[in-house]
Structure 1
Amino acid sequence: MSEEPRTRLVVLFGGVSAERDVSCISAAHVLAAVDRDRFDVVPVGIDPEGRWLLADAAKALLDDGRAGEIGGTVAVAGTAIEPLGVAAATAPGQQVVVLPLIHGPMGEDGTVQGLLEMAGVPYVGSGVLGSAICMDKVASKALATAAGLPQARHLVGRDVEVDAAFRQRVIATLGLPVFVKPANLGSSVGVARAADPEALAVALADALRYDEWVVVEEAVAGREIELGVIGNAELRVSVPGEIVPTHEFYDYDDKYVDGAARLVVPAELPEGVTEAAQALALAAYRGLRADGYARVDLFYEEGGRGLLLNEVNTIPGFTPYSMFPSLWAASGVAYPELITEMVRLGLKRHAHRAGFGRAQPRPEAGVPRPGGAPRP
């Protein structure tokens, strides 16, 4: 009897957003750790022009059993392919699943997920709606408010209305300092702290280079607490971890360039706060329609409002400095096992949703319709 073919796992990375370098680092980390006995791994990159490329050098190392030599990043270079061409070209009986590791717009925001849905290809992580909601800070904050989840005070603005009057409203409503963020970006790209009116104007102009919508949040004097959640309908939540930044806030350089921010896992929290943080993480995950896996970021305002939701990241980083795998390692799930579980959940979600919303066969002419009336 022939062995069942390994599941083809297409690791999709790169992309056109400002976070593409982070994506390439994440992909290298995953490729080095994935269980090669379970998966036929195919690395596919999307270059800045949107072309899909088979990462030939990384694929050769994987096929030669030398995944550890891929290095700290994966080059988006190789043989040009049709989008989803590798996913379609499977062996008879082989199952395929895509693991999108594209951070930011055109990857984390429901666009790639929509393409995969249209093609009927299983994928790992949240669906179109959950991905779009969690990527867009304006939409996610509105939905979190509707769900009654505690958040920092904030204002949102579109580029055509971000003017002197908007800046005055920010100062009058939120005070200074504030944090200014593009609505659709992550990894702290375009995020700035503004402590005076001049800095606020500069920060807003910079954020609007990345998106037409911006979010301005009050500066919360709280600890940054993060938790990992995995699951579709049935969920598991990790122990909480804490980010201790070395910069003024946990910015891009502190995350990926210096790598100096300290991750404390598990976080040392007062009695009862861990359970409350886990409950809020699960409520946010469900409320913002996440699936598969996500990292939920909170603020803990000691002596004040307690726990506040910051955001839900549906494709958290998998770099050597990333919190998500660290949280699950501390919760008893090793990194290769975590990837395997994420893939399993993606396949399970695809199988569960197969047939939802599909067109049904139309009755033939003359066959009675519901209610007894024949079709003309």
Structure 2
Amino acid sequence: MKDLMDGLQGHSWFNGFDIADELPARFSLHEWIKLAKHVQATVFIAVHGGIGEDGTLQSMLEAEGVPYTGPGVAASETCMDKVATSLALSHLADRGVLIINKDVCRKEALLSVPTQKIWHELKSKLQCETLCVKPAKDGCSTGVARLCCEEDLAVYVKAVEECLLRIPPNSFSKAHGIIEMPSPPPELLIFEPFIETDEIVVSSKSMGENARHLVWKGQSRWVEVTVGVLGKRGSMRSLSPSVTVKETGDILSLEEKFQGGTGINLTPPPASIVSEEALERCKQRMELIANTLQLEGFSRIDAFLNVDSGEVLVIEVNTVPGMTPSTVLIHQSLAEQPPSYPHQFFRRLLDLASERVMQM
């Protein structure tokens, strides 16, 4: 431990930190928050989903006057609820921010009504042939699936009924990877039209094994992007968007999102796919979304981007993005000019949290 401390002390960015050579103590959450207040700590919230993202932890910290990273209580509550998020952004269509039509179903209704009836009603309401189903209050591909027919819906409903932790690969009519399911099963599920995008593929065909290149047909003109936003409430700034080369199925798995080596993120998207003008319009709209939702600190916005117009179709907003070496926010901060290295990025988040408290 002493060697580690000696090595870290040589870096200016480590000033003020201390690592005690003691075994970790056990606290209840309430005790831990009291301790954070006592030592005048700033809490870096990294609890992805659940109480870390729905406003619960934020409310507990605010009650004790403890500064914390990321958006406040109201913004967290709104963004955790996909329906509430859509309602909050619904007036921005004329400014290039679009939302996806939704139909909300209760778990009890799915389990009690014949799937054939549900399937035909959903297709009629949403005016589409292929559906996307997802929990109303979850994120990062958990429980998200593409449904192409009523048999697919029956498979999904059975997984919910049996409280499965995951749906095995290729359980539906169209090939897909493992689908992690929320536990316990969600009380509310959202059905949306499935948005068709053109696959971005890394290929070595016709150019030799060592000359890989991107293949993108560009027929639909829509690609899926994820974008980090950073800053103070009302003046959030968009980082460079990333597009992801999918390896299996139509929806990114948790592994592809968070485990290094299982997915390829392109930051920023190649000019052959998204023009510089469309990219700039995308960033402006991401900032509009962030400021409309009263985000602050940092968050991640997932959306479909029209590569010609720069219009965005919002998928979801994560107020506590997952933080692993594969997280695109790290890639995006490194793509800034000048680059923002991880220790600078995280220090900035802590500074923003402290500044918010001083302004209150």
SS in 1 for 2:44: strand
Deviation at residue 84 of structure 1 after TM alignment: 4.7
2:225 corresponds to: 225
Total equivalences in the alignment: 288
The 1:305–1:218 alpha-carbon spacing in structure 2 relative to 1, beyond 3 Å, is farther
> In structure 1, what is the equivalent of residue 293 of structure 2?
288
Show the counterpart of 1:266.
268
Pick the aligned partner of 2:129 from 160, 171, 176. Answer: 176
Aligned residue for 1:325, secondary structure, equals: helix
Scaled by the length of structure 1, what TM-score is found? 0.69
Provide the C-alpha distance between the structure 1 equivalents of 2:17 and 2:91, rounded to a whole number of angstroms. 41
Corresponding position: 1:337 with 2:289: no
1:150 counterpart (98, 109, 127): 98
SS for the counterpart of 2:230 is strand
8 Å CA contact 1:87, 1:97 repeated in 2: no
2: CA distance, partners of 1:349 / 1:146: 28
What is the identity, as a one-letter code, of the residue corresponding to 2:17?
Answer: F
Cα deviation, 1:14-49, whole Å, max 9, x if unaligned, reads xxxxxxxxxxxxxxxxxxx99432434xxxxxxxxx
Matched, 1:79 2:31: no
CA contact (8 A) 1:147 1:287 kept: no
Of 248-257 and 137-146, more deviation after overlay is shown by 248-257
Q: Deviations over 1:155-180 (max 9, x none)?
A: 22233444444432222224232211
Cα contact 1:253–1:259 (8 A) shared by 2: no
Partner amino acid for 1:234? S
C-alpha change, 1:34 and 1:294, in structure 2 (3 Å) is farther
Unaligned runs of 5+ in 1: 1-32, 41-61, 65-76, 354-376
Q: 2:43 aligns with which of 86, 98, 115?
A: 98
- 8 A contact 1:284–1:312 mirrored in 2: no
State the structure with bigger RCO (CA 8 A, min sep 6), 1 or 2. Answer: 2
- Report the alpha carbon displacement of residue 316 of structure 1 after superposing the two structures with TM: 0.8
**Structure 2 residue 145 is matched with structure 1 residue 192:** yes
- State the match for 2:65 in structure 1: 120
C-alpha deviations, 1:253-299, integer Å up to 9, x for none?
A: 32245742110011121241111110111111112221111111111
Moved more, 81-90 or 270-279: 81-90
Alignment partner for residue 167 of structure 1, among 116, 119, 131? 119
Cα distance in structure 2, aligned partners of 1:174 and 1:253: 32
Kindly provide the amino acid, as one letter, of the partner of residue 227 in structure 1.
Answer: V
Q: 1:275 aligns with which of 250, 273, 280?
A: 280
Q: Which segment drifts farther, 218-227 or 152-161?
A: 152-161
Displacement of 1:87 in angstroms is 4.9
Specify which of 170, 182, 191 is matched with residue 216 of structure 1: 191
Q: Which residue of 2 aligns with 1:43?
A: none
For the 8 Å contact 1:224–1:244, the answer to whether it is kept is: no
Structure 1 residue 304 displacement after superposition = 8.8
SS at match of 1:228: strand
Question: What fraction of aligned residue pairs are identical, expressed as a percent?
Answer: 26
* Unpaired runs of at least 5, structure 2: 1-10, 161-180, 198-222
Distance 1:287 1:250 in 2: 27
Aligned Cα RMSD in Å? 2.8
Length-normalised TM-score, structure 2: 0.72
Residues 240 and 34 of structure 1, relative CA distance in 2, 3 Å threshold: farther
CA contact (8 A) 1:229 1:281 kept: yes
- In 1, Cα distance between equivalents of 2:132 and 2:276: 30
Query: d(CA) in 2 for partners of 1:203 and 1:35?
Result: 49
